[in-house]
Chain A
Amino acid sequence: KQEVTQIPAALSVPEGENLVLNCSFTDSAIYNLQWFRQDPGKGLTSLLLIQSSQREQTSGRLNASLDKSSGRSTLYIAASQPGDSATYLCAALKTSYDKVIFGPGTSLSVIP
């Protein structure tokens, strides 16, 4: 059974810092992994999707990497801003009609 964990559960950093969020999954037979952000009381916003054949994806100040062999993905946020404050969730996806598994999320607070 696939399990997804995220470390740390919460993170508070001063504005301008670079930071790394971690996501681990137990079943390496994933097809891809997606990173989302969720603002309080809102839905999820897709940030990056890494296919199993890829090692990383970049969008602006965000960079996500995937290492299937070790069962890990990281989300790197460069030069953090207060607007980055949100909960970040990773989700492991499988081929065929199977269940998508979300991690519990990392609550990020960027202090001005």
Chain B
Amino acid sequence: DTEVTQTPKHLVMGMTNKKSLKCEQHMGHRAMYWYKQKAKKPPELMFVYSYEKLSINESVPSRFSPECPNSSLLNLHLHALQPEDSALYLCASSQGTDFSNQPQHFGDGTRLSIL
């Protein structure tokens, strides 16, 4: 069992829908991350939060909106997505304020399909 919990595990939505992905960790980690992974490709970093503040935005389209309500929770709000946004969305966390010397712990991801 993973220590990073992501919900839902699967999500199917239309291009006009609004939905949110949720991520939770109770390891006291202060850095949290969103990745996007297409089939048979490595994960691509989207956002990094450090101490609940957005520290990295990898030029992600505005239809993806991250939110970190507290140190244990990370949300990814979705609106007006495109079919090419279908992917596995992974959340990760690590101790400290950056991910340089601490291993990242990943959730099992949300499999997102856009119709």
Contact = CB atoms under 8 A, between A and B. Distances in A.
A20 interface: no
Interface residues of B, number: 29
Contacts, number: 62
A52 to B, nearest CB: 9
B103 A43 contact: no
B104 A102 contact: no
Interface residues of A, number: 24
A95 B100 contact: yes
Interface of B: 2, 4, 6, 41-45, 48, 50, 55-56, 58, 88, 90, 92, 98-109, 111
Interface of A: 31-32, 34, 36, 41-46, 49, 51, 89, 93-97, 99-100, 102-105
